[in-house]
A and B are shown apart, each in its own frame.
Chain A
Amino acid sequence: MSALLRRIVVAVDASPLSLAAAQAACGLAARLAAPVEAVFVEDINVVRLVAHPYVHTLSLAAARRQSADDTLIGKALDLQQVAARRGVEAALAATGAHGAFSVRRGRVEAELLAVQRAGDLLYLGWNGRPAPGLRPRLGGVARAVIAAATAPVLLAQGGGDGPLCLWWDGDMTALDLAAALAAGRGGTVEVLAQARNRNEGTTRAAQAVAVLDQRGVRAQARAVGRPLTLLSSLGGDCLLVMPATAAVTLDDLPCSIVVAR
């Protein structure tokens, strides 16, 4: 078990990206022999809508007021929870990881911030409902959690089973996390060294590679230079470990990321 990643938490709402996050979390947990805690959060505001006599609901498909069935929201929430539980159970069974599924009720952002404080790494879907055919924009919950989280957060855009990359601007927290993930995933850490010019970047990348080597993690430089250059070197299947202070807009990132703290 990694000293850094002893407890992994994943937020599941049955959306495709959250289920992908659950799969990835279970995979890592299995390799690190760490437990997984899957959390389904019932939005308290939505829960209060159930059987609320003074609430207006509007169908997006029909653009008109919903029928008078005031139990519809409650039933939909139940189904969502069942789907989330089944997804987690399937991921646990497929990876051989062990863990538990729990349901919390409250404001989603607050609940997720609470559970991340109890874990070493929080897995979260990039977006709850991505538009078909388009790269998902960062969702509102994910944005809020990233802004306030105290523990590392992994935002999944896909499987993230490609190269493990490190956004290296000198932040050791990110490097440590990358080393821990590399130990769990195996393989090489590919360094993206942020710098003002190529020479500086090459030097910084070499520095990171050397540190990782000292920790027994294989590493190599992938790209050096300004943030835009680094971004263009990333593929959709990468998993990028980056410091919370990285000078990059999350919406521009094409792959899954881990924000280190």
Chain B
Amino acid sequence: MTQPVPAMAVCAVAAPAPLAPEQLYRVCDPASLPFASTAELPDSEEPIGQDRAVEAIRFAIGMRHRGFNLFALGPEGTGRRSLVMQYLTQAAARQPVPDDWVYVHDFDDGHRPRALRLPAGRAAPLKKDMEWLVEELAVALPAGFETEEYRNKKQVLEQEFKERQEEAFGVVGKKANEKGVALIRTPVGLALAPTRDGEVLSPDDFKQLPEADQDRFKADMEALQTELEATVKQVPQWERETRARLRELEQEVVSFAISHLMEELTDRYSDLPEVLEHLNAVAEDIADNVGDFLESDEDEGEAARPRRRSGGGDGGMRRYRVNVLVNNAECGGAPVVYEDHPTQPNLIGRVEHFAHYGALITDFNLIKAGSLHRANGGYLVLDAHKLLMNPFAWEDLKRALKAREVRIESPGQSMGLMSTVTIEPRPIPLDLKVVMIGDPMLYYLLSHHDPEFAELFKVAADFDWRMPRDETAVMGLARSVATLTRKEGLRALDRTAVARVVEHASRQVEDAEKLSTHMASLADLVREADYWAGRDNAALVTAGHVQQAIDGSTYRQDRVREHVQEEIRRGIVHIDTDGGAIGQINGLAVLELGRFAFGRPSRITARVSLGKGDVVDIEREVDLGGPLHGKGVLILTSFLAGRFGVDGPLSLEARLVFEQSYGGVDGDSASSTELYALLSALAEVPIHQGFAVTGSVDQNGNVQAIGGVNEKIEGFFDLCVARGLTGRQGVLIPATNVAHLMLRHDVVEACRQGRFAIYPISTIDQGIELLTGVPAGMRDGKGDYPPGSINRKVMARMATFHRRQEAAHPANLGGGRDNGRNGR
């Protein structure tokens, strides 16, 4: 029910005056800017407002000791990455180009490829040289084995072996023949059998022989058997000897074919001992596996050539290749690598596989570099959030930094889950600086929960989200805008536009004495202003275009705000903007939808009844109130107890609620508002509904600063404008929030015309006087409040509650919240 608000009768507390227009908005005077347009300004080389972060970056770059990696923390959009990249790139350009890295086959341990370090720019030529070597050998070696000389020598060796074998068996055969014994080749070996006239004697015929002949045969065959065994045993030895001689012959051919090729390479890489060692191993391996270079066609010459090793083919040739992992040939200094997708394989590298007859096969040629390899000798920049979101990436990064080496190992491999054939590339020494970019919360969480983090990231570059609004900062901002317009081909901004950008930068941080360092959003504002200037065919961007950009951006995002305002205007949501009501007040909340925030008036009501001193927060009771809101309610309870319950228990029960609120409520910015409603309900004095209130309160009744003050004021202002400004409407804000005011121009103008007002409030007493028109009242020497004052009325109501309580439940009085004396 709306009730008239009494005119202020007794004013014991100085009522605050409405804020002057210049306190509502700090103007940036275009005349104070020493340029006509940003076209006159030089490029900005130094960042603005990030001195602390810059110093940290410089320090981290300069410190070459272990663990002095950098974590750049700050809100997104403050230019962390661009600033870090700018300084790293500058520093890297002055640093030496790091070495190239290649992987080659290890001929002693094929399972563990070797990593070779080469001076920058030497890896790619080595790869080409090895390809050239293989191509040359593919021609030179078959040619060597097709020469008549080689074929003749080989035939001689084979013939010698056959003759030796035939001769040995021939000797046994001849002896057997002389003794009438046949040496016969059977499907299961050799046999010695008694013969007559060239035919084997059957068992019956043998038995018909005289016993002496039989014995002689038996003895002869026994002797021949022994001799034959000895001969057969020698055959493998002769075979080995022949193979060895054939091999020597092959070696001669191979040595001749490859010697001049290898000499050329060893001359070229004589300054690199590791490469020479590898070339020697290659030469030995080629000599051992010369068959890999020969064609597999079963033509006439095949029998004359060394046999191809099984599993050769291209797979055999692949082991002579060079896998260039890091090629710094084109680098002008140390590398600066930004890894946009820091998965574990992208970071530490990976070993790929290919399917071969259903099996997954790999070799050192399939080793792929990670960003740690590419950044080795320089700088690696990572987004902390992305890094931590990728399984195993953070752990492997730490392992690499601690061990100072990159070891390529897939997660499956390290967890023993790999069932396919794979390789273990030898680790590569690591010498780089890692820069992680993330928000402060990540930095603090890592610091707290990961002991290795502090050990590995000893330097923090803390990016501030705001800077003091002084002349230097304003000019820095103007130069940044000038740099941006040139870089992106935008129109220059005239001084009015720059001034408006500066004012908007203050509004962004909700502080008239500060400027935002969120360059990303300011850059978007400049781009959008350029768009509107383009629509006007303007040569320069003016303040009007900037305002158009701000309004346009707001319009695109404020559909929900419109709906909220509309519901209030239509009376669906109950908010009064005139008249008075007991225990009812307009509170102000801020709703954030993505990047857009707006103020939303809410009706807060308080009801009191007989009770035990409890203040019930209905939001809290139904789990819609957050902990900070609960805290605010408890504080105001404490205020009531401290002011009105010193002499006796509070025999009341008060209930507070945000009317028509169906979502969660948090924050303590409505605690003063709730207290006003409560005091109004207790004193039974109406509150003027043309006011809206924000601010938290402490136990002593001091009003404290809150956030979102501009949006809150504008939210209520818009409602009042829609219903018609009466000149009696306004918003009570904490006095400590005055410095944060950067209100919209229409709000400032309404205040200038006296149609709307903003009141800075320091205490609850100031606020309740303004809201009710009744003085709060101060205790006199006897401890009494003046008659007619709010506090007097509240005390009286308390006393009434206490008496009723005493009458109803005399025994329970001692169990109240306070055990003091009864109220007056």
Contact = CB atoms under 8 A, between A and B. Distances in A.
Interface stretch (B73-81, B185-193, B316-324, B728-736): B185-193
A76 B187 CA distance: 6
A38 to B, nearest CB: 19
Contact of A73 (B188, B194, B222): B188
B804 interface: no
B210 to A, nearest CB: 14
A61 B236 CA distance: 10
Given A59-B188, A72-B188, A52 B233 contact: no
Interface stretch (B198-206, B699-707, B761-769): B198-206
A52 B204 CA distance: 9
A247 interface: no
Nearest to B161: A131
B336 to A, nearest CB: 59
Given A45-B184, A134-B303, A135-B303, A54 B194 contact: yes
A56 B221 contact: yes
Interface in A74-88: 76-77, 79-80
A251 to B, nearest CB: 11
A254 B300 contact: yes
Contacts of B188: 57, 59, 66, 72-73, 76
Given A66-B188, A134-B158, A52 B228 contact: no
A250 interface: no
A80 B187 contact: yes
A76 B182 CA distance: 20
B189 A45 contact: no
B110 to A, nearest CB: 26
B187 A56 contact: no
Nearest to A78: B187
Interface string B162-196: 10000000000000000000101011111111110
A51 interface: yes
B211 to A, nearest CB: 13
A73 B186 contact: yes
A236 B233 CA distance: 35
Contact of A54 (B203, B229, B233): B203
Given A65-B229, A135-B303, A54 B221 contact: yes
A103 interface: no
B225 interface: yes
Given A44-B200, A135-B303, A56 B222 contact: yes
A66 B184 contact: no
B698 to A, nearest CB: 100
A48 B187 contact: no
Nearest to B230: A63
A3 interface: no
Nearest to B228: A58
Contacts of A68: none
Interface in A21-80: 43-46, 48-49, 51-61, 63-66, 72-73, 76-77, 79-80
Nearest to B205: A48
B478 to A, nearest CB: 86
Given A60-B232, A65-B225, A107-B199, A49 B186 contact: yes
Nearest to A49: B191
Contacts of B300: 235-236, 254
A144 to B, nearest CB: 13
Contacts of A133: 302-303, 307
Contacts of B232: 58, 60, 63
Chain B CB within 10 A, most for which of A45, A49, A55, A66: A55
Interface in A176-235: 235
B218 interface: yes
B199 A58 contact: no
A57 B194 CA distance: 12
Contacts of B225: 56, 58, 65
B107 interface: no
B191 A51 contact: no
A177 to B, nearest CB: 25
B299 interface: yes
A199 to B, nearest CB: 28
Nearest to A140: B185
Contacts of B218: 54
Contacts of A54: 193-194, 203, 206, 214, 217-218, 221
Contacts of A58: 189-192, 225, 228-229, 232
B203 A53 contact: yes
Contacts of B195: 45
Contact of B187 (A61, A63, A73, A254): A73
Contacts of A57: 186, 188-192
A135 B217 CA distance: 39
Contacts of A61: 189
B187 A55 contact: no
Interface string A132-149: 011101000000000000
Contacts of B182: 45
B204 to A, nearest CB: 10
Contacts of A72: 188
Interface string B626-642: 00000000000000000
A52 B222 contact: no
Contacts of A63: 229, 232-233, 235
Contacts of A60: 189-190, 232
A206 B192 CA distance: 55
B331 to A, nearest CB: 53
B203 A51 contact: yes
A48 B229 contact: no
A58 B230 CA distance: 11
A66 B182 CA distance: 17
Contacts of A79: 187
Chain B CB within 10 A, most for which of A49, A54, A66: A54
A72 B302 CA distance: 37
Contacts of B228: 58
A55 B195 CA distance: 11
Contacts of A236: 299-300
B222 A46 contact: no
Given A45-B200, A63-B233, A55 B190 contact: no
Contacts of A107: 199
Interface string B213-229: 01001100110110011
Contacts of B229: 58, 63-65
A143 B99 CA distance: 70
13 contacts: A48-B201, A52-B200, A52-B203, A52-B206, A54-B217, A55-B192, A57-B189, A58-B228, A63-B235, A73-B188, A73-B191, A107-B199, A236-B299
Interface of A: 43-46, 48-49, 51-61, 63-66, 72-73, 76-77, 79-80, 107, 133-135, 137, 235-236, 254
The 9 closest A-B pairs by CB, nearest first: A76-B187, A63-B232, A48-B200, A56-B192, A45-B200, A63-B233, A57-B191, A56-B225, A59-B189
Given A54-B217, A55-B221, A77-B187, 14 more contacts: A45-B193, A45-B200, A46-B186, A48-B201, A52-B203, A54-B221, A56-B191, A56-B221, A56-B224, A57-B188, A57-B191, A61-B189, A64-B229, A107-B199
